[in-house]
Amino acid sequence: MSTVKHVPKTPVDPKAPGPMLKYQANLPKLPVPALSGTLQKYLQSVRPLLDDAEYQKTEQAAKEFESPGGLGQKLQERLVARAQDPSIVNWMEDWWLDQAYMGYRDPVVIYVSYFFLFKDDKLRKSPAQRAAAITTAALEFKQQVVNKTLSIEMAKGEPMCMDSYKYMFNNCRMPKKPSDYEAIFDPVNNNHVVVIRKNKFYVVDTIYQGKQLSTAELEHQFKRIIDQAGNSKGLPIGILTSDNRDKWTEYRENLVSANPENAKLLEKVESSDFVICLDDQTPVTRDEGSRACWHGDGRNRFFDKPLQFIVFENGKAGFMGEHSCMDGTATCRLNEYVCDGLSKDKINHGSIEIRSDIPQPTELDFKVNEKIQKDVEVATTNFENLIKKHELTVLAYQAYGKNLIKKFKCSPDGYAQMVIQLAYYKMFGTSRPTYESAQTRKFQRGRTETARTVTTESVAFVKTMEDPYATNEAKISALRTALKAQGAYMADAVNGHGVDRHFFGLKNCIQPGEEKPELFTQPINAYSSHWYLSTSQLSSENFDGYGWGQVVNDGFGCAYMIKNNALQFNVASVKDLEVHGKKYINGTYHFKHCLEEAANDLRDVMTTEIPAEAKL
């Protein structure tokens, strides 16, 4: 019986520069939702956070905002006009890039960047060997991006925006006041990787005499670097990239003015395919490996690069991504391609013969003066102080995963969200605003929208779960109702119909001299987007860790993976966080404990509903 192949509704562009972009020009534009729909959704999202009197005030402010001839209508008209402007591809893009990323002045490390920790590679235990294999696999992926042959990601039968892949290789975030910018270098003419070892920078050309270096040749080059770097540490120029963006802008100016040669050396790093960090650390546990990928010692890195592969002395490895131009779905795909390709032996490693005349890798010898040494000292102190304030721990929950959750007839993502909600309620006795990342890549240059997880239904669910007198039936019913609400909001968010980005757009349409409407100045407006829980899911059987920092200092960053037979939660926060005047000593670990309890409780309740044989 022949199966009918689904044909996307999006028409193919015959002028597309390659198969990867064949739908790109015809993808729908990011919509501006109807004002009334967003206001309704906003009121629903704040209802569980407010008492009756406060809620009535918020309802009143929404009515005024929407009234005919009111400011809300004016702002909506301006936003719609911007969205319809043929010269603007995506009404949110420039505002978002500047306000969420480039204009943000805190360090990228901890606050912006994210990491993946890979599972161990049983075949490749030495750092040079593992780094070489990762490089070959990543370069294979680069070829598909450059040739525009990378297969298009699809969601529910429709193509996703593939535009952000242009920011992956041969790119770098550049520090500048008041707002950074992205430098994009020609990926065809730049064929080199930069390797950092003992804080020293080395260039490895990946093509010699017209032929790409094989994995064996790359391994040979990386071994040469390890030998050349020896045991003495260099002045860590890389740590300058870990500081506040204004400070790094100044440091970079000092570096360039110290010697004109330094600008060329920096450009070698900035224009490289990616960076390989050959660390001399040997992390063993998931917590150690995750922290080493999240920030390491800050010195053996160049934090502005969108791609840094990190390989440790004991052969463990991971990845760190700079977040400003690319979201995690694209880099997750790259890393999945690398890890999966290597573990299943799908990567072409080339000849095992090593050409004897390949030149030695060159060290980038930065010319420094006292001022730069002082900058390095200051940046090092600032980095150490930043790291000292933060805690990270991983719950690798091995009791069950996606397979059992599907037997419960639940959405795995919604289920994991409710585990997080229940854990938070166990620890704090209340529910607080929660961000879940929803991707809007079905639209041209779409990035993310917020799915607001806390609903009247989720609050009822956590209360029912913690009620010792509630029956299992009542608990299951409360979960299913909460999952339905979570799924509905997520579906709207993916379609560009959330609250947060629409409000962001409306706020950006307020002109100088115009008074901010009460809807935006009420305390609940800021509170309902103060993300006590910042959550996001990316899942891979090849990863042993994935995470980032919290977005507010009285909250948690909670990255999670849903594997077939395991759940994994990465909990990050400030050490001993303080929430609403109360200090939680070891709070990061307490939340991890509550996540485990919540996952156990939920399983115990849900298994009462399925027949014994289905549990196996």
Sort 25 into a burial class: Cβ within 10 Å, 0-12 / 13-18 / 19+: middle
386 — phi, psi (to 5°)? -65, -45
Strand, coil or helix: what is 542? coil
CA gap 143, 341 in Å, rounded: 15
97 — phi, psi (to 5°)? -60, -40
Helices marked H in 147-230 = 215-229
204, containing H or E segment: strand 200-205
Please identify which residue in the block is written with the tokens 């006041």: 177
Q: Any residues with CB less than 8 A from the CB of 213 and at least 6 apart, and which?
A: 204, 205, 206, 207, 221, 350, 358
497 tagged catalytic: no
Q: Any residues with CB less than 8 A from the CB of 197 and at least 6 apart, and which?
A: 225, 226, 229, 278, 280, 300
CA gap 302, 327 in Å, rounded: 19
Q: 421: closest CA among 475, 479, 472, 467?
A: 479
Sort 181 into a burial class: Cβ within 10 Å, 0-12 / 13-18 / 19+: middle
CA gap 550, 569 in Å, rounded: 13
CA–chain centroid gap for 435, Å, is: 13
| Token pair recorded at residue 479 | 């979960």
Count the residues in the chain.
Answer: 616
Indicate which residue of 192, 295, 323, 390 is catalytic.
323
Which parts of 343-398 are beta strand (E)?
362-363, 390-397
CA distances from 285 to 191, 291, 394, 448 (A): 35, 10, 10, 32
**Catalytic residues, which ones?**
323
